Structures are given as C-alpha cells and as structure tokens.
Amino acid sequence: MSAEESKIKNVAVASSIDTPSSEEEKEEIKSETGTDLGFSLDILSLGPKKKLLVIPLGGLIVRRAHVRERFTLPKNRRPNLSYGKFMIYKRRYCEGFLKFCFERFEVGLWSSAMEHNIQAVLNHVTGDVKTKFLFTMDQKECTDTGFTCLKNKNKPLFLKQLKYIWEKKYPNGEYSASNTLLITDPEKAILNPPNTAIFLKEYDVKKKDGDFLGPDGELRAFLDGVAEAKDVQSYVKEHPFGEPAITPSHSDWDYYSKIIRFFDKKDK
C-alpha cells in the first residue's frame, strides 16, 4: 500500500467512526494524516447524485375514470378502487415500475388533481412505498393559466412549471434542467425549457397495455438511459420518446402560443 493510499484509508476510517464537526477537528486529522480532509472526505462520501424524475399519478400509474364514463369502460374488468364519483384502474406492472424508478432516481409525484382526490389513490396504489417519494405535489403547486383544456372546455388548464421545483422548492440549486425529467401531458409543459419532459399517451383501460411499464418495456429502457446520462436535456434531444412537444409546428399552436405570450408578458 502506498503512502497516499494509507492516508486515504486513515481518513476513511476516521470518517466512518465519527465525522468531524468543527474546523479544529478537521485540521487535527489533516496534521496527523497529511491529507486535506475537506477534499478527501468529499471524494469518499459523494457518489453519483440521482437525477430527479417527476411523475404523474393519473394517466401513467392508474386510470381515474368518472362514473359518467362507466358505460365506455370494459365490463369484464372491475376497478381496483372506487371513491366518490371516481373509479380507479391500476396499470399492469405499476408497483414494479415504481420500485424501478426509486432505485434509479429521486422521484417526485406531481398531480394536477386536488389533494383530496389523490390521497386515497396514492394510499391504495403505492401503499408503504409512498414514503419514498421525495415530494408529493398537487393542483396547488400548478399554475392556473385562466385558459381551458382544448379536449374539455369545462376543465381548467393547469401547468407544471419546473421552475417552481428549481427556484422555490429547492432554491439552493440541487435540481435544474440538466438533472430533471418530467413526465406529463404536452400542454402542461409549454412554459418549461425544451427537452426537460417526455409526453406519454394516457393509459386506456379499454386497450391492451402490454408491458409498457414492465421490465422489458421501452419506458424502462429509456429511463435507464436518462439515469446514466450526463445531461438530461441532451439525452432527451438525442433520444426522442413518446409524443412530440408543443412547438410552432403543432396543429394547435395558435391556442397555446396565446398562453405562452400571456405569461411572457406577465413575467416581464
């Protein structure tokens, strides 16, 4: 063992027993080992930091259907949960998919539904693993545009602005466009930087879903790549996945560009 290796080993042992809490203690160990503790302990204690994956509940993990939709739902499949006027259908492999995500990412849950509408679903679907979420956010943390959804004129359009996470929830720079991936609907991400989100088709219980969330599914393979990538934006740009983002070439750009311009003026 070289002298330098011996120094590092001594520092590692000291760190594992009791991490110094004062500058005096650090200087004492430095004088004994000849090693700069502030530098060496950083190397020893810091591994690759997990990126942040922000997922929705409805549409990805479950299908939340209103009772008025009951005549359009499969008669040979009963909902996994019913509460109020809603029926909840769990997606195949959803538990395994969540475990997969927790192993590779810091995972946040962000729903555009109201809090009381997601807690019952969260408890039933995730059980004890819900404590593993880095955070759980609902409609209160979304941006109310004052506009409505094109697919449903009676439904307000809420946005999920990543700057809320980057600037307000974690203001010390823990997360940014380089290490954050959002899974949501295209219209909910129109104010976010490009290539910070992917957009997936909503889970449809009427159609065979195969193993989309399964161990051999394309989504897990894509997320594996994101977890290993140096930069999220670069990876997403180079590996297109899911539905396209809303850009000037989108068929509904005239509508969404009004929202973008409105918030551009508001922020100035």
Residues 228 and 107 both lie in one domain: yes
Residues 141 and 248 both lie in one domain: yes
- For 28-65, how does the pLDDT look when each residue is reduced to its tens digit (9 = 90+)? 444 444 444 444 443 344 456 899 999 999 999 999 98
Divide the 268 residues of the chain into consecutive groups of 10 and give the mean pLDDT of each group: 45 41 46 44 54 97 89 87 89 94 98 88 82 96 97 95 97 97 98 98 86 95 98 98 97 97 85
Q: What distance in Å separates the CA atoms of residue 141 and residue 100, rounded to the nearest whole number? A: 26
Q: What distance in Å separates the CA atoms of residue 52 and residue 60, rounded to the nearest whole number? A: 17
CATH number at residue 188: 3.40.50.1000
- Among candidates 47, 1, 9, which has minimal Cα distance to 29? 9
Q: What DSSP line would sit under 8-66, residue for residue?
A: HHHHHHHHHH----SHHHHHHHHHHHSS-HHHHHHHHH--PPPEEEEE-SBTTTEEEEE
Q: With contact defined as beta carbons under 8 Å apart, do 179 and 232 qualify? A: yes
Residue keyed to tokens 């946005």? 159
Residues 32 and 98 both lie in one domain: no
Residue 48's pLDDT is 61
- For 117-153, how does the pLDDT look when each residue is reduced to its tens digit (9 = 90+)? 888 888 888 877 889 999 999 999 999 999 999 999 9
Q: What distance in Å separates the CA atoms of residue 59 and residue 79, rounded to the nearest whole number? A: 15
Packing angle of the helix pair 37-45, 23-33 (nearest 10 deg): 90
Mean pLDDT (the chain, rounded): 85
Residues 33 and 56 both lie in one domain: no
Residues 22 and 155 both lie in one domain: no
Is position 84 within any domain? no
- State the pTM of this model: 0.81
Residue 9 has a CB neighbour count (10 Å cut-off) of 12
Is position 237 within any domain? yes
Residue 68's pLDDT is 87
